[in-house]
A and B are shown apart, each in its own frame.
Chain A
Amino acid sequence: MIPIETKIFEELKAKGYWKITIRPTEHKKDRLTLDQCKMFVAESQVKLRGWYYPHIGDKISNFFKANDYAESYVDWKDHKEVWRMYTSGQFVHYLAFWEDWLPYYRQQIGFSTNANAGDKVKSILMTLYTITEIFLFTSRLASKKVFDDNVQISIQLHNVSGRVLVVDDIMRHLRDNYVCMSESLTYEKKYDVQELIVKYDELALDATAYVFSMFNWDNPDLKKTLKLDQEKFLKGLI
């Protein structure tokens, strides 16, 4: 690991972070060329917000190729992330929780929950947007035939114990405090690529609802509520 990577990992793992793994179900070492590793990620990048998923290195951050993977990392202001796309088609992405680095979120706590100023938080909308981006990104990779018939997606959230859900909109309020009691949580599932391409949005809602259920937010209408926000996000209307 190069020194800058070590530094990013140290910072990233000191707070909350995502680990996302997307891979085919069959391991073929030379499924992609190194050039395709970058090209497919770039062509599948999701640009629905000012900060794209995933971020691809340029002058501020960086990008390089190694033996069997292409890698990009960024440590710029509130943004800390590292990803690798292996020639096997496996994509592994570490991403810091923005909530822990953006001062903006500290101001939200008082509006949305009974949480105290020092509490660790997880934004409902940011979580929904990130998971939707992950599924949309995977569906775009799938459209480029990076996988065969199936693809495995694993979404992990780390350092979430004691973390409280917050809502980003001052006009909305949560009735209760929803707190995660596990240190980390994982949502992992194998998908048929055709189903993923057609229904990435619904599948992302399933994953998001699971994550929120691990914060003990079990609302039967949750997916219906989140769907409206997701639709706005996908139409670029947030």
Chain B
Amino acid sequence: MFRDYNELEDFVRLNQHNEQRNCEFKGNISWNDPEQKHKIVKAILSMTNLRDGGYFIIGVAKTSNVDGYQLIGVTRDVANTYNHDNVSALANSFSRSNINIQLKLFDKDDKFFVVIQVSEFSNVPAICGKDYGEILHAGRIYGRPSRQPESSDNLSVEDVDEILELAVEKRFRRRQTFFERVGYVQQPPISQTPPQPNAKELFRQESENF
């Protein structure tokens, strides 16, 4: 999570001209708006299925094509509609597995910002557990497609592969940790190739002017 407003400002400036897969900006939206809050839940379900998770930031909007995204802020009243427990509870009520989020408010010159940091899933990808109108559908997996930074269930083969790879990595790490705990240690394979005698020198020469 950003330490202070300056770090938030740096992050927005770095992504000023295009939202990335791991960040989504929204202008003046209140958690009291039922449609908007379920769109936020959809973004959370999508970002938790992304490597390293992502940020959902309220109070940042595209002011023009030239200026890109700017920190416009929201009012104190709108910012106060958000709190960690409500956002986390609603997101988790729509997910069949546990989702971790952090929520933090920032302010600068009477402008307020809400940052929701979504953690990458812990064990298994998030699957939507129930319907909400046209926004959320039970049984679907949401993600952040690589072709366009949006929250969607219309994922490409590569996007699905990425989510599966993430899940397999976690399973692999869990399995290895379990084996170690019960005393079964797999020895690393013995390399068939003899060590290159001058490798260190070759690497040194390669980067000696750097």
Residues of A whose CB lies within 8 Å of any CB of B are 1, 21, 23, 25-27, 46-48, 50-51, 58-60, 68, 77, 84, 86, 88, 90, 92, 104, 143, 148-150, 192, 194-195, 197-199, 235-238
> Which residues 167-210 in B have Cβ within 8 Å of A in the complex?
169, 172-173, 176-177, 188-189, 191, 193, 195-196, 198-199, 202-203, 206-207, 209-210
| Interface contact A236-B53, CB-CB below 8 Å | yes
Q: How far is the CA of A131 from the CA of B195 in the complex (A)?
A: 27
| Closest A residue by C-beta to B6 | A104
The answer to the question of B52 belonging to the interface, with a C-beta cut-off of 8 Å to chain A, is: yes
The answer to the question of B3 belonging to the interface, with a C-beta cut-off of 8 Å to chain A, is: yes
| Closest B residue by C-beta to A26 | B196
Query: Taking A77-B10, A236-B53, A236-B118 as contacts, is the C-beta distance between A68 and B206 under 8 angstroms?
Result: yes
Q: How big is the B interface, by class?
A: 35 or more
Chain A interface secondary structure, helix, strand, loop or mixed? loop
> Which residues 97-133 in B have Cβ within 8 Å of A in the complex?
100, 102, 117-120, 122
Q: Please name all residues of chain A whose beta carbon is closer than 8 Å to the beta carbon of B206 when the two chains form the complex.
A: 27, 68, 86, 88, 90
| Interface contact B51-A47, CB-CB below 8 Å | yes
With both chains docked as a complex, state the minimum distance between the C-beta of B167 and any C-beta of chain A, in angstroms. 14
- What are 27 contact pairs spanning A and B, CB under 8 A? A21-B207, A25-B195, A25-B196, A27-B206, A46-B52, A47-B22, A47-B53, A50-B8, A51-B7, A51-B11, A58-B14, A59-B17, A86-B206, A88-B202, A88-B206, A92-B207, A104-B3, A149-B191, A194-B188, A197-B172, A197-B173, A198-B176, A235-B100, A235-B120, A236-B102, A236-B118, A237-B102
